[in-house]
Amino acid sequence: MSKDFPNLLSSEIYNNFISFAKNEGFTQTSLNSLPFAELESIKQKCSHTSDVVFGSKVACSLGCSPFASFSYFFPVDNNIEPNLFGSVYLDSNIFKSMQNANGAHFLQLAFIKNSSDIDTSKLLAKRSLSGLCRGYMAKTRASETSVKLHTDLLNVLFSPLHLSALLTEALKSENLSVDDMFLCIASPTSDFLEKAKTIFSPFIQANEELRKEEQKAKYANCLRENDCTSCDDKIVCDEIRKVL
């Protein structure tokens, strides 16, 4: 799957998406937005975002939700192979994932600026930042604080400010400066989502087909030689397949 995947996401799809997002008037927030009261000055700072987005030193990630640790990195420069991390989960359900507990949609784009050219290993190092929560979840899930944080975020709302706070924590843990990343967050209308769905549809369709093929073809560990009908463990596998 990983070998085939980069071809599925053309720069055309990516460029369409970015210009579309810009035209839709995303609220742009940088990490410098903290403390929260300084939102206006941050907006000014973020007005430079578009100037630095295009170039090999910048990568962009689309996050499905703060609680999906998988994100997909779009390399801004076509010479960089896309980071396939989490590609298995990026499908049509992405649009469902972008709803918070109150049903409001949100979309997050993180632009990562680097002092040198971004390659896949650097993308990997920063994936927890633009995916927002992988490092955060892995390190704190079991603590009382994190449970509270989860509850707050899930049950109250996802706001740019919450996300900024999480990102700041992630940046601190990686010893990165807040200037290394810009975060764009939108509360898109349903009209926006419909349009975005259209733009992403070739990508989504190809990804789903790939997944189906993979499910069929790769049963290397199956002790029943692909015949699951009489398997004692079928009920467990079916649950996993249901989610996927």
Partner 1 sequence: MNNRVFAFLGKGGTGKTALSTLFGIYLINNGKRPLFIDADPAGGIQKTLGLENVPSIASARQELIALAKKASRINENNASDFKMTKEDLDYIIMNTVIDQKDFGFIAIGQNMEPGCFCSINNLLKSTLHAILPLYDVIIIDAEAGLEQVYRQVVEEIHVALMVSDVSKRGIDTCVSLKHAIEKIEGMKTCSYGAVINKTKNVPELHTDFLHSEGINVLGTVDLNAELADFDMRGESLLNIKKDNAIFREIESFAKKILN
Which residues here bind partner 1, judged by CB under 8 A? 1-2, 65, 67-70, 81, 83-89, 93, 97, 120-121, 123-125, 127-128, 134-135, 137-138, 141, 174, 214-215, 218-224, 228, 231-233, 235-244
Of 54, 119, 117, 125, which Cα lies nearest the Cα of 81?
119
Pairing relationship of beta strands 181-186 and 107-113 according to DSSP bridges = antiparallel
Residue 222 Cβ, how far from partner 1 at the closest point, in Å? 4
Q: Which is nearer to partner 1, 104 or 138 (CB)?
A: 138
Q: Which is nearer to partner 1, 16 or 140 (CB)?
A: 140
Residue 223 Cβ, how far from partner 1 at the closest point, in Å? 4
Q: Which is nearer to partner 1, 52 or 222 (CB)?
A: 222
The DSSP H or E segment spanning 60 is strand 58-63
Amino acid occupying residue 119: D
Residue 242 Cβ, how far from partner 1 at the closest point, in Å? 8
Residue 83 Cβ, how far from partner 1 at the closest point, in Å? 7
Q: Which is nearer to partner 1, 24 or 180 (CB)?
A: 180
226: left (phi over 0), alpha (psi -120 to 50) or beta: left
Amino acid occupying residue 62: L
